[in-house]
Amino acid sequence: MPLLQFERLATLTGVLRDRTVRLAVTGLSGSGKTAFITSLLHNLLSAVGHPTRLPFLRAAAERRLVAVHLDAPPAETIARFPVGDAIAALAADPPDWPASTTDLRQADLTLRFTPAGFLGRAAGGTAELRLEILDYPGEWLLDLPLLGQSYREWSRASLEQARQGVRAVLARDWLDFLARHPADGAADPEVAQRAHCLYRGFLAASRTRERLSLLQPGRFLNPGEIADQSLLWFCPMPFAIGGNAREGSMAALMEARFEAYKQTIVRPFFAQLARGVDRQIVLVDVLRALNDGEEAFADQRLALETILTAFRFGRRNLLRLLFGARIDRVLFAATKADHVPAVQRDHLEALMANLVTTPTLRAEGAHARVAATALASIRCTEDGTDVIDGHRVDVVVGLPEGGHRRIRFFPGIVPVTRPPAGFWGERFTEFPVFQPPRIAPAAGAGVPHINLDKALEFLLGDILA
Ligand code: GDP
């Protein structure tokens, strides 16, 4: 091929291939977002010199990744993901878990790679993928249904929920306060703020004491940066049947704030998500919910259903209906899969798939747009066996945080579908927090993981092809 043509083809491939992709990472608090992003960054940065760390990411395994580097933060408003601090924590002696991020964060990477196809090989050129990784609290997704609800409808549904199950005990102070300050009384901003604090306290206790997940509005526990905090000073109130909020009443004040919260915080967030994100991974701590018992598990499932309404493909998707959507691949991942041995990890993947009614990564056709998997971003254990009551069982072996001796941990059996009633009698043993493996601070060997590469192949493989 004459040189001139060769060069033109290389430029052409460059033009065709160079691309910016925004990958959003979300999950409820504690689901493993920080660990996932830290491992993803460190492993991609290490992948050029150490392709065996990501064997199922084809571009890495085929040695087509030529260079990967972190980009300097653009002068934008989104805070940087603290990658240096996160890697330093894992490189410390003893290694520590990186501190969880609780707000919107971004990290940018550039991956230079050789395209896989004939054109790429013939041209001999490389292409560039700018990967913008966006980390946001999954709690914010729980607000999507609010956009389709009036204050009255939301109040009714929230009060009904608050009077049921373990919530009823935790909601008592707030409900007593509402009984003393009726919705049709004169609007009083101080009373509204006090009612909001009690309601927020009820949500916080539901999360910490009962480990519940469906806690709305999502910003009450994970506000992020909100300039005017008074936007949040509302809560559900009981209405008289058929009654409307009378002008100048408490209900009218609460309603105005509820609507302002939707317009100034919830709507812009979802508009940004729908228009600015290409790929999405939702991390779910399924094992912890199994650990926490029947009500916590059922509540996590309801929260997941709400999150699914944002990412389901097809015409019923509220996000698409309201804002359109660019997102074309979504992966649901059960995290911390290194708490269970190999066979149980397959169960965990099946359970994750069952909870969101999608195929597993293993079963997905090449072009599936939504799939489920189980992964460990930072693998802390090895598989082993033990003998319990004369039976040989599979266990995981790891060092508990702060401990001196590795333990053999038998987690119980992970159900492959929603657990039957009898399951809850014999709850899992409480999972230990394992010490993460110590890593080298400079990119090189990467971070041990389970299925991180398969997740990346699903999310980015077509772009790196
Ligand atoms: P975030 O709040 O979603 O950012 O959650 P983090 O990433 O901070 O994870 C919360 C905790 O879960 C960590 O401090 C670890 O104790 C644990 N964790 C997260 N990922 C893993 C993993 O892959 N394996 C194990 N064993 N524990 C994990």
Nearest CA to ligand 1 atom 27: 336
Q: Binning pLDDT at 50, 70 and 90, where does residue 420 land? A: confident
Which atom from ligand 1 is nearest to the alpha carbon of 377? 23
**Residue 425 pLDDT exceeds 80:** no
Which atom from ligand 1 is nearest to the alpha carbon of 401? 16
What are the structure tokens assigned to 93, written together? 């002696």
Q: What is the mean pLDDT of the chain?
A: 90
Close Cβ partners of 425 (under 8 Å, ≥ 6 residues apart): none
∠ CA(160), CA(165), CA(170), 5° rounding?
85
How far, in Å, is the centroid of ligand 1 from the Cα of 453? 18
pLDDT for res 326:
86
Close Cβ partners of 160 (under 8 Å, ≥ 6 residues apart): none
Work out the average pLDDT over 362-389: 88
Tell me the per-residue pLDDT of 162-175, one tens digit each, with 9 for 90 and over.
999 999 999 999 99
The segment with the largest mean pLDDT, out of 247-251, 312-316, 359-363, is 247-251
pLDDT for res 367:
66
Buried b (16+ CB within 10 A) or exposed e, 28-64: bbebbbbbbbbbbbbbbbbbbeebebbebbbbbbeeb
433 lines ligand 1 (CB under 6 A): yes
How far, in Å, is the centroid of ligand 1 from the Cα of 58? 26
Strand, helix or coil at 289?
A: helix
The Cα-based distances of 398 to 57, 290, 341, 347 in angstroms read 27, 21, 12, 21
How far, in Å, is the centroid of ligand 1 from the Cα of 349? 18
Distance separating alpha carbons of residues 7 and 125, to the nearest angstrom: 9
| C-beta contacts of 352-357 below 8 A and 24+ residues apart | 352/284, 352/286, 354/416, 354/417, 354/418, 355/284, 355/286, 355/301, 355/304, 355/418, 356/304, 356/308, 356/332
Asked if residue 104 lies in contact with residue 79, where contact means CB atoms within 8 angstroms, the answer is yes
Distance separating alpha carbons of residues 434 and 427, to the nearest angstrom: 20
Q: Binning pLDDT at 50, 70 and 90, where does residue 463 land? A: very high
Work out the average pLDDT over 403-424: 89
Tell me the per-residue pLDDT of 11-63, one tens digit each, with 9 for 90 and over.
444 444 678 999 999 999 999 999 999 999 999 999 998 888 899 999 999 99
**Residue 366 pLDDT exceeds 70:** no
Tell me the per-residue pLDDT of 100-130, one tens digit each, with 9 for 90 and over.
988 899 999 999 999 887 666 666 688 999 9
∠ CA(266), CA(267), CA(270), 5° rounding?
85
pLDDT for res 314:
74
Percent over 90 (pLDDT), the chain: 71
For 290-336, give the DSSP string. HHH-HHHHHHHHHHHHHHHHHH--STT-HHHHHH-----EEEEEE--
Work out the average pLDDT over 197-223: 96
Nearest CA to ligand 1 atom 13: 97
Higher pLDDT pick, 294 / 16: 294
Q: What number of CA atoms fall less than 13 Å from residue 156's CA on the CB side?
A: 10
Higher pLDDT pick, 48 / 380: 380
Which atom from ligand 1 is nearest to the alpha carbon of 97? 14
How far, in Å, is the centroid of ligand 1 from the Cα of 102? 13
Distance separating alpha carbons of residues 346 and 373, to the nearest angstrom: 9
Q: Binning pLDDT at 50, 70 and 90, where does residue 7 land? A: very low
Q: Binning pLDDT at 50, 70 and 90, where does residue 6 land? A: very low
pLDDT for res 14:
45
**Residue 241 pLDDT exceeds 50:** yes
**Number of Cβ within a 10 Å radius of residue 284:** 27
Higher pLDDT pick, 413 / 158: 158
What are the structure tokens assigned to 320, written together? 């698409």
List, in sequence order, every residue forming a beta bridge with 398; answer none if it has no partner. 407
Work out the average pLDDT over 146-169: 95
Residue 192 dihedral angles phi and psi, to the nearest 5°: -60, -40
pLDDT for res 362:
83
How far, in Å, is the centroid of ligand 1 from the Cα of 405? 21
Residues in the chain: 465
Strand, helix or coil at 393?
A: strand
pLDDT for res 119:
64
Q: Which of 41-55, 230-244, 278-292 has the lowest mean pLDDT?
A: 230-244
Higher pLDDT pick, 206 / 2: 206
Higher pLDDT pick, 270 / 76: 270
Work out the average pLDDT over 226-252: 87
Which atom from ligand 1 is nearest to the alpha carbon of 101? 4
